[in-house]
Amino acid sequence: MGTDEWVPDSQDHQKNTSRKIIDLDQGVAAADDSLAAWTQRYLDLAVQGVRSDEVTGKITRHLNRFTGWLTEGLGHDRVSAVTPREVAAWRDHLAAEGNIGRRPGDSAGIGRRDDTAMAPATVNNHLAHLSALFSWITVHAPPGLLRHGDPTKKVEPLPLPAPQVRALAGPQVRTVKNVLDRIEGFHQLTGRRHRSGDTAPAVHRHARPLRDRAIVHLMLGTGLRRAEVVDLDLGQLDPAHPDELRRVKKAKLNGVRGKGRTSRNVFLGRDARHAIADYLQSERPGDVDEQTQALFLAASSIGARRPGGRLSPRSINTIVGEIGRIHDAETTDRQRHLGTLRPHDLRHTFGYRLSESSGHNRAELERRLGHANDRYLRLYTNPPDDIAAAYVEDL
């Protein structure tokens, strides 16, 4: 039997472990035209164990959203009924009201659904996962199931807006670092019972101010992406002992894994070295368990943290955003306010400052940013608005 051939259940056949073979034990007739069944086959045979758990979860959510939306609209989930019109309508639905949250309810306390537009890049990510599913179905489907071919091929992704970049200006960098120098004080408990005695006030049991300071200094001083930060292991840090880390000037992170399976070594500046050393010495040991390998850990007091304590990329958004919130609350000069501070703002700031200090050395930018695409290199090195405005002030 060929790897793509379907046979009736009544025929004896030897099971083949190839990913191109569909398990027919449950009966083809019942599942042939069910999108839910095909989605589960695809996940079992081509996604789980091949992609990371995080990516597998994202693909599963996106495909289940399409199945639910199709079933709600047509009253069934037949694969043969999926047309380019349906795929395009789903794309437009996500773009118009794809984000589902909860807004405060009425006087009875009942929450109401709040549907908001989904970002074009997120919509296109949904489409890419759906396209991969139908490409797989096309290869493995029995004849006649997709009479008009892959329904996703004729649906164009949404156009992406021009990327908006923001590098922090020099005064903003200074005040951010000032906040980082004092970050422990912002996490101290202020109740009366915590103010008595000669000991330093305690911090919230989930708070890890030294970790947060180390992460922001690291991103500001290296341009690492948030996913690269959470993927770091302690074993990549050279040297890894706090005293040595403070002393040497060529400390680095070895084999940082970037996009496109790239890998690079990243040197650490003084601020990042000292901040990481403080974290390793004072906070990290209390959060280590037998599975721990990650450099930066979630607090062990958090019951739902991952085995080993590794942070999620989304947690980096929370950490960086909180630093921005504290910064703006502390800064009376509105010209220095950051608004919502995002991890990529730190990356853009590093890119611009590195471009300035290296004389716009393209090779150095590629090496340190982990990006060889000219378009993105230009974006990462755009100057802050106040500097860009000064260029034309007297022209």
Say yes or no: 184 and 275 in one domain: yes
Say yes or no: 388 and 245 in one domain: yes
Q: Are 172 and 60 in contact (CB under 8 A)?
A: no
Range name among 172-186, 241-255, 372-386 with the lowest pLDDT average: 372-386
* Phi and psi angles of residue 70, each rounded to the nearest 5 degrees, phi first: -65, -45
Say yes or no: 177 and 301 in one domain: yes
Other CB atoms within a 10 A radius of the CB of residue 98 amount to: 20
Q: Are 387 and 356 in contact (CB under 8 A)?
A: no
Q: What is the pLDDT of residue 162?
A: 66
Residue pLDDT, tens place only, 177-213? 999 999 988 887 665 555 555 555 567 788 999 999 9
Say yes or no: 44 and 151 in one domain: yes
Mean pLDDT of the chain: 82
Q: What is the pLDDT of residue 214?
A: 97
More confident residue, 108 or 71: 71
Whether the pLDDT of residue 103 is over 80: the answer is no
Q: Mean pLDDT throughout 17-44?
A: 66
Say yes or no: 126 and 42 in one domain: yes
Which residue has tokens 């007297």?
Answer: 394
d(CA 56, CA 210): 32
Domain extent at residue 153: 1-101+116-160
Q: Is 108 a domain residue?
A: no
Residue pLDDT, tens place only, 130-179? 999 999 999 998 888 888 899 999 899 999 876 666 889 889 999 999 99
d(CA 265, CA 143): 51
Whether the pLDDT of residue 21 is over 60: the answer is no
**Domain total for the chain?**
2
| CATH number of the structural domain spanning residue 334 | 1.10.443.10
d(CA 237, CA 250): 11
Say yes or no: 130 and 181 in one domain: no
Q: Mean pLDDT throughout 13-25?
A: 38
Say yes or no: 152 and 176 in one domain: no
Say yes or no: 125 and 257 in one domain: no
With CA atoms as reference, report the closest residue to 38 among 132, 157, 158, 171: 132
Q: What is the pLDDT of residue 17?
A: 35
Q: Are 94 and 115 in contact (CB under 8 A)?
A: no
* Phi and psi angles of residue 228, each rounded to the nearest 5 degrees, phi first: -65, -35
Other CB atoms within a 10 A radius of the CB of residue 82 amount to: 23
Rounded to 10°, the helix 209-222/343-357 angle is 40
Q: What is the pLDDT of residue 176?
A: 95
Residue pLDDT, tens place only, 41-77? 999 999 999 998 889 999 999 999 999 999 999 999 9
More confident residue, 299 or 24: 299
Whether the pLDDT of residue 216 is over 50: the answer is yes
Query: Token digits for 165?
Result: 């970049």
With CA atoms as reference, report the closest residue to 232 among 207, 271, 275, 263: 263
Other CB atoms within a 10 A radius of the CB of residue 362 amount to: 13
Q: Is 123 a domain residue?
A: yes
Q: Is 193 a domain residue?
A: no
Burial state string for 24-62 with b = 16 or more CB within 10 A and e = fewer than 16: beeebeebbbbbbbbbbbbbebbbeeeeeeeeeeebbeb
Say yes or no: 214 and 78 in one domain: no
Q: Is 165 a domain residue?
A: no
Whether the pLDDT of residue 82 is over 60: the answer is yes
Q: Is 142 a domain residue?
A: yes
d(CA 116, CA 49): 33
CB-neighbour burial class of residue 85 (10 A; exposed 0-12, middle 13-18, buried 19+): exposed
Q: Is 252 a domain residue?
A: yes
Q: Is 342 a domain residue?
A: yes
The residues annotated as belonging to the active site are 225, 259, 344, 347, 371, 380
Whether the pLDDT of residue 22 is over 70: the answer is no
Say yes or no: 61 and 174 in one domain: no
Q: Are 214 and 284 in contact (CB under 8 A)?
A: no
Q: Is 196 a domain residue?
A: no
Whether the pLDDT of residue 1 is over 50: the answer is no
Rounded (10°) CA dihedral 295, 298, 304, 308: 20
More confident residue, 271 or 112: 271
Q: Are 195 and 201 in contact (CB under 8 A)?
A: yes
Q: Are 230 and 256 in contact (CB under 8 A)?
A: no
Say yes or no: 29 and 130 in one domain: yes
Q: What is the pLDDT of residue 336?
A: 87
More confident residue, 350 or 136: 136
d(CA 272, CA 295): 13
Query: Token digits for 137?
Result: 């179905």
Q: Mean pLDDT throughout 96-125?
A: 66
CA distance readout (Å), 171 to 261, 334, 337, 338, 370? 36, 12, 10, 11, 27
d(CA 338, CA 327): 8
Q: Are 323 and 351 in contact (CB under 8 A)?
A: no
With CA atoms as reference, report the closest residue to 352 among 376, 380, 371: 380
**How far, rounded to the nearest angstrom, does the alpha carbon of residue 380 sit from its chain's CA centroid?**
18
Q: What is the pLDDT of residue 352?
A: 83
Say yes or no: 179 and 297 in one domain: yes
